[in-house]
């Protein structure tokens, strides 16, 4: 009777100990978030257009302007107008384009991607041991299947098919060579 009462208490203590032991502390900084203090050029809150990219082909530079609200992009050559957007200029060194939209002149900057440098990039994840160096080993060769077994029959069938394919390829080559030789002899008689 006493063991029945102690069993749930024992299981609860065991679970609590395993749970406390398995908890690890999480890193304070995420490698997927911008580095603290880095200035990311964010578009204005009311800006609906974004400079998506550019392509230079010879003397012509084409700019990709993306309308964030409609999720459509337009490739517009510098000096041209499309969809009410006129591209006035593009500065590749600054990654910015000057455009006119609805009578307003705007300067759009290319968005910069920011990757935080991970301080512990090479460290092992918490709770996992660093594996020891793995030494390459050669596997032990498998003995051939017993005669008359299914594995032996499958091996024999594969070898037969392989041999038949090789014979067929050789016959095809011999046939093609005979055809070429016959065509050459026929052409020489004419």
Sorting pLDDT into bands at 50, 70 and 90, what band is 29?
Answer: confident
Query: What pTM did the predictor assign?
Result: 0.39
Q: Whose CA is closest to 112, among 37, 38, 57?
A: 38
For residue 126, give the DSSP letter. T
Q: Give the long-range contacts of residues 164-168, CB within 8 A, separation 24 or more.
A: none
Q: Give the long-range contacts of residues 90-99, CB within 8 A, separation 24 or more.
A: 90/54, 90/61, 90/63, 92/54, 92/56, 92/61, 95/51, 96/51, 97/51, 97/54, 97/63, 97/65, 99/49, 99/65
- Over residues 112-158, the pLDDT tens digits come to 666 655 555 555 555 666 666 776 667 777 777 777 888 889 989 99
- Over residues 79-114, the pLDDT tens digits come to 999 888 899 998 888 888 999 988 889 998 887 666
Average pLDDT, the chain: 78
Q: Quick check: 17 pLDDT over 80?
A: no
**What pLDDT does 71 receive?**
87
**What pLDDT does 143 receive?**
78
Which 3 state secondary structure label does DSSP give 160?
Answer: helix
**What pLDDT does 4 receive?**
64
User: What phi, psi does 97 have (nearest 5°)?
Assistant: -125, 145
User: What phi, psi does 60 have (nearest 5°)?
Assistant: -105, 130
- Over residues 36-79, the pLDDT tens digits come to 655 544 555 567 888 888 888 778 889 888 888 888 888 999 99
Whether residue 64 contacts residue 75, with contact meaning beta carbons closer than 8 Å, is answered with yes
**What pLDDT does 40 receive?**
47
């Amino acid at each position: 009777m006493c063991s029945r009462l102690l069993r749930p208490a024992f299981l609860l203590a065991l679970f609590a100990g395993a749970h406390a032991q398995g908890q690890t502390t999480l890193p304070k900084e995420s490698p997927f978030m911008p580095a603290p203090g880095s200035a990311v050029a964010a578009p204005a809150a009311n800006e609906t257009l974004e400079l998506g990219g550019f392509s230079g082909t010879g003397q012509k530079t084409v700019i990709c302007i993306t309308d964030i609200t409609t999720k459509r992009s337009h490739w517009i050559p510098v000096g041209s107008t499309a969809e009410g957007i006129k591209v006035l200029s593009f500065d590749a060194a600054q990654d910015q384009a000057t455009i006119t939209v609805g009578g307003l002149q705007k300067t759009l900057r290319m968005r910069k991607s920011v990757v935080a440098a991970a301080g512990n990039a090479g460290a092992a994840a918490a709770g996992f041991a660093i594996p020891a160096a793995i030494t390459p080993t050669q596997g032990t060769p498998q003995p051939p299947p017993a005669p008359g077994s299914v594995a032996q029959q499958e091996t024999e069938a594969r070898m037969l098919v392989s041999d038949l394919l090789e014979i067929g390829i050789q016959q095809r080559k011999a046939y093609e060579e005979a055809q070429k030789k016959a065509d050459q002899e026929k052409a020489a008689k004419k």
